[in-house]
Amino acid sequence: MQITRRRFLAGAAGALLLGQLPLGCTADTSGLPTPPSHAPELRAQEGSVQLTPPEYPETPVWGYGGSVPGPQIRVPQGQRVSRLFVNDLPQPSTVHWHGVRLVNAMDGVPELTQTVVPPGKSFLYEFDAPDAGTFWYHPHDRAWEQMARGLYGALIVEEPEPPFVDHDEVLLLDDWYLTAEADFHPSFGAAHDWAHAGRLGNWLTINGEGNWTRTTRQHERWRLRLVNTSNARVLPLEVKGLAGWLVALDGQPLSFLQQLSHLQLAPAQRADLIVDVVAQEGEEATLSLLQEDRGILFGTFAVNGVGRADRLPEPEPLPANPVPPLGDLEAARSASLLMEGGAMGGMQQAMLDGRNLKWQQLLNRNKFWAMNGVANVPDDPLLNAAVGETIRIRIINDTVWPHAMHLHGHHFRRVTAEGTHGPLRDTLLLEREESAEIAFVADNPGDWLLHCHMLEHSDGGMKTWLRVA
């Protein structure tokens, strides 16, 4: 029998792999009387949260610390983050630190960087946070269920000299699929969702609140750090009564401020805004989701008084993070990635676990998507990069669905045939049948996942990986 990568890690050899991690990085402390005391605990557990209006019952969530969102982690740039993850869920889990260019062994990806943490066990995550910006953490095993039930939190890395604002607020935006009793709709794993857009919800929250409200005063300045934590919903957003700038995307500063108008956040994407309250005293400023020409209210800023006579002057762009420049694109190593499948996609067959399966056989295994003809993490990487090499990947979305492609451990830029570059990102929204080319410097050694962040697509087959060595 062929020993695949998956079987290798799942089998006895998995223990060997753990033994190779640097000292202090593995922490299955279950056998020890007390865990290492320097790391605060991050416990995934059941909880009960009022997501919906008070006339509804509380929702039986899964959350870090039992709450939604989980505790906000805030560190100065360059500082070490240490958390002892404890799994009190009824199923295995891991923690992924989305967008952080961290050491590979701490990336939290089952099959690739660690074995899963079973119920009742723990794992010590320890890494340095090189970039200042807005990041977040979430599970990476059965994420389509665990994140839908509320497991996520913000990781904020502070600039040495943050720009002046009156308020700095993280807004984790989520889309929940609930029943009339405010319980989870039981359609987890439903083939329809997996083959179409993913699990789309019927209830929106900011930081777990269905009616998120802040009071403010006219001309106060806010930094709003928006994170789309939805399983699958792309969020076209509109702000009213707030004027200002988009200053960072996916945790990386824009080199020039962009006047804020409309904003679109795909799952996992972030945007940092610096905005001034321009609504009048007694009015409201709002953040809404735009859907078919109507705005669905997400959050409200009630203007209660005047903070200062006029708006503050335009801020400076945030200082750049230490991401290496792209290098010579002509000499870059390149690969191409064909995305196929989904409803109305016409995919006939794909490889799964080393076997060529027909569409109907794939459906029976809840695999609806493939990349370069393979459903799920292939045994061989999409490419092998030398550390420091410039990489270009052409991504072809040959499906009639949008996808939010996320690369672990690196930020990339979208490049055009004319050689222009977009901003640094870690998650790229590709519209239906859209192609794009991304480029980055593979400066972070390890095995890095590249997958769709629509979580049902990801576990429905849309995952591959790169090796940097």
* Residues engaged in binding ligand C2O (CB under 6 A): 96, 98, 138, 140, 268, 406, 408, 449, 451, 453
- Rounded least distance, CB 445 to ligand C2O, Å: 18
The entry of ligand C2O, Cu ion, none that residue 83 binds, CB within 5 to 8 Å by partner kind: none
Cα 34 to chain centroid distance, Å, stands at: 32
Partner from Cu ion, ligand C2O, none contacting 277, C-beta within 5 to 8 A by type:
none
What is the closest distance, in whole angstroms, from the C-beta atom of residue 11 to ligand C2O in the complex? 24
248 binds, among Cu ion, ligand C2O, none (CB under 5 to 8 A by kind): none
Residue 132, binding choice from Cu ion, ligand C2O, none, Cβ under 5 to 8 Å by partner class = none
| 438 in contact with Cu ion (CB under 5 A) | no
Q: Which does 367 bind (CB under 5 to 8 A by kind): ligand C2O, Cu ion, none?
A: none
Residue closer to ligand C2O, measured from CB, 94 or 207: 94
Among 100, 452, 455, 466, binds Cu ion (CB under 5 A): 452
Q: Binding partner of residue 154 among ligand C2O, Cu ion, none, CB under 5 to 8 Å per kind?
A: none
Nearest by Cα to 444 from 389, 404, 406, 380: 389
> Which of residues 138 and 199 has its CB atom nearest to ligand C2O in the complex?
138
Rounded to a whole number of angstroms, the minimum distance from the CB of residue 99 to ligand C2O is: 8
10 Å Cβ neighbour count for 37? 7
The answer to whether the beta carbons of residues 448 and 407 sit under 8 Å apart is yes
- Cβ proximity to Cu ion, 100 vs 234, nearer residue: 234
Per the CB < 8 A criterion, the answer to whether 87 and 422 are in contact is no
Contact characters 390-429, Cu ion, x per CB under 5 A: -------------x--------------------------
- Closest to ligand C2O by CB, 248 vs 449, is 449
Sheet holding 62-64, edge to edge: 62-64, 41-46, 80-87, 122-128
Cβ proximity of 141 and 93 under 8 Å: yes
- CA 250 to chain CA centroid, nearest Å: 9
Question: In whole angstroms, what is the distance from residue 147 CA to residue 460 CA?
Answer: 16
Q: What is the DSSP string of 108-138?
A: --BTTTB--B-TT-EEEEEEE--S-EEEEEE
Which residue's CB atom is positioned nearest to ligand C2O?
98
Q: Closest CB to Cu ion among 68 and 350? A: 350
Identify any residues that bridge with 303 across adjacent strands, giving them in sequence order.
Answer: 216
DSSP letter for each residue of 418-431? T--B---BSEEEE-
DSSP 22-85: PTTT---GGGSSS--TTSPEEEEEE--B--S-TTSPPB--EEETTBSS-PPEEEETT-EEEEEE
Q: Would you tell me which residues interact with Cu ion (CB under 5 A)? A: 403, 452, 454, 457
